[in-house]
Amino acid sequence: MKNDIIVIGAGLGGLFSGAKLAKEGKKVLLIEQHTIPGGCATVFKRKGYTFEVGLHEMDGLHEDDFKVNMFRDLNVFDNVEFLKVPEFYRFTNERVDLVIPDNIDQAIKNLVGVFPDEEFGIRKYFDVIINLPKEMFSFPKKKWKQLLIFPFVPILYPKLVKYPKMSVGDFLDTIIENNDLKLVLLANLGYYHDDPYSISMSWYCMAQSSYYKGGYYIKGGSQKLSDYLSQVIQDNGGEVLLGYRVEKIIVENNRAIGVEYRKTGSENTETKIDFAEKIIANAAIPSVVDNLLSSDEAAVLKAKTMELEISCSLFSIYIGFKKPIKEIGNQYYSTFILDNEVKNQTDFANCLKGDLSSKGFVFVDYSQIDSQLAPKGKGVGSICTIDYTSVWENLTKEEYNRKKEEVALTFFDRLERVFPGIKQEIDYYEVATAKTIERYTLNPQGSVYGYAQTVEQAVPNRIKQKSPIENLYFASAWTFPGGGFGGAILSGYLCAIGILYDQWQ
């Protein structure tokens, strides 16, 4: 039977576009190669522990946040519970140990308390990151018409009027002298990118200012959000087909008309074919170019994308603890830990791109806010840092496993220095590398943020949701505005709005 929409991939971009279109009466078929929906927004269970694959903290849910209206529109708040993260993060590098609240006035106060000579720079930093995002967008011309059609989302396709062609590193160098202060402010850089001197100010300011107004975890894990959206599609007459991989987008006269797909991992089974008015790829854009279209069909898209830099991946150690870590003295949800040798922004970039065992990392103590993830009386946490598939190439299975184990042990030693006694509380752990992410999401290089948010590749230059092939659209971290939960959700929703109201940037 012909569908209105086929969505390839059940990551957040695919789920939000599919759920919105299904709710608006479109017949949606979503095809996901994994056995669960969510992409990076999933959990897995071991020995009674629920391990969060991706989410540490989702920015936003404040009054200026686009996601609030989208969540209301899809009844997300009535079905998924969001837990407020108590502070933005703790930063420690032996020279400085400081807690950054997710409240701007309080953050300024704490920072000025430790770096009194830098008050001007600290105030300037917050002034720019808070005000720039507001100045960057204007209402689209058809604003009033849109408000009448769709009152929940006052800004549909925001128009960029101003954006700085500057890196965050360069910006910090112009306003702040103290290198430790720069490192404190950059602690969570890995949420976006791996280098302060190439990350775009426009992207950083949008995301970082939103984190300073609020951060959330999803009670029970991000799977709850993914499962709910999957259910919305099904409750509205759509179908979510898990465990099937799309192998080809069928194109006729530069028009996408359907997909060929097959049970994941069963090369000998027959392919199935389904047709639709419109196809949305949540699958990575480079995979669409290289694997799902013929070289002729992909030519225009390939020319636009082949030079683009792909974002970093992440390395995670998922840990089950014999008891909640607050019982051994930890009071904070996220702690960013940097080695003493990292003294300035260049060191920081080198450290994130360098040897895995000495990278700066974050320890997330989920049990501070969500006791549901661990069996009674136990705790759950994770260690996370930047990773690249290149680190894990050309290894036998045994070498790969041995290396994972060795790296994990060095991180446990580094964790022990900050939380004495924590090592002996480890009950179970599992390591995921860039290769693991590549395998489970099919994102090339295990990329978690799509195309890198460099000065050249960030808004306004990002690939848009409408592709050069008629009736083929994109909804993922690879498009406008970018990666992370917020970016992928917005991409999916804007894709659906674009299709419903023929409203494009």
Ligand X SMILES: Cc1cc2nc3c(=O)[nH]c(=O)nc-3n(C[C@H](O)[C@H](O)[C@H](O)COP(=O)(O)OP(=O)(O)OC[C@H]3O[C@@H](n4cnc5c(N)ncnc54)[C@H](O)[C@@H]3O)c2cc1C
Residues in touch with ligand X (CB under 6 A): 8-14, 31-34, 39-41, 54-58, 245-246, 282-283, 287, 314, 316, 384, 437, 441-443, 448-449, 476-477, 483-486, 488
**How many degrees, rounded to 5, is the angle at CA 136 between CA 203 and CA 158?**
95
Q: Identify which of residues 176 and 233 has a Cβ nearer to ligand X in the complex.
A: 233
Residues whose CB falls within 8 Å of the CB of residue 396, separated by 6 or more in sequence, listed in order: none
Tokens of 222: 């991000």
Q: Is 86 left (phi over 0), alpha (psi -120 to 50) or beta?
A: alpha
**Taking the complex as a whole, how short is the minimal distance between the CB of residue 499 and ligand X, in angstroms?**
16
Q: Identify which of residues 323 and 464 has a Cβ nearer to ligand X in the complex.
A: 464
Q: Identify which of residues 279 and 437 has a Cβ nearer to ligand X in the complex.
A: 437
Q: Give the C-alpha separation, 191 to 217, whole Å.
A: 15
Q: Identify which of residues 201 and 488 has a Cβ nearer to ligand X in the complex.
A: 488
Nearest to 65 by CA among 111, 18, 102, 108: 102
Q: Identify which of residues 351 and 431 has a Cβ nearer to ligand X in the complex.
A: 431
**Taking the complex as a whole, how short is the minimal distance between the CB of residue 12 and ligand X, in angstroms?**
4
**Taking the complex as a whole, how short is the minimal distance between the CB of residue 200 and ligand X, in angstroms?**
16
Go through 65-104 and write b for each residue having 16 or more CB atoms within 10 A of its CB, e for each that does not: bbbbbbbebbebeeebebbebebbbbbbbeeeebbbbbee
DSSP 8-state symbol, 154:
S
- Give kind and range of the element (H or E) at residue 387: strand 379-387
**Taking the complex as a whole, how short is the minimal distance between the CB of residue 78 and ligand X, in angstroms?**
22
Q: Are 261 and 239 in contact (CB under 8 A)?
A: no
Residues whose CB falls within 8 Å of the CB of residue 358, separated by 6 or more in sequence, listed in order: 339, 341, 351
3-state helix, strand, coil in the chain (%, to 5): 40, 25, 35
**Taking the complex as a whole, how short is the minimal distance between the CB of residue 442 and ligand X, in angstroms?**
4
Q: Identify which of residues 301 and 437 has a Cβ nearer to ligand X in the complex.
A: 437
**Taking the complex as a whole, how short is the minimal distance between the CB of residue 106 and ligand X, in angstroms?**
22
Q: Identify which of residues 124 and 464 has a Cβ nearer to ligand X in the complex.
A: 464
**Taking the complex as a whole, how short is the minimal distance between the CB of residue 332 and ligand X, in angstroms?**
15
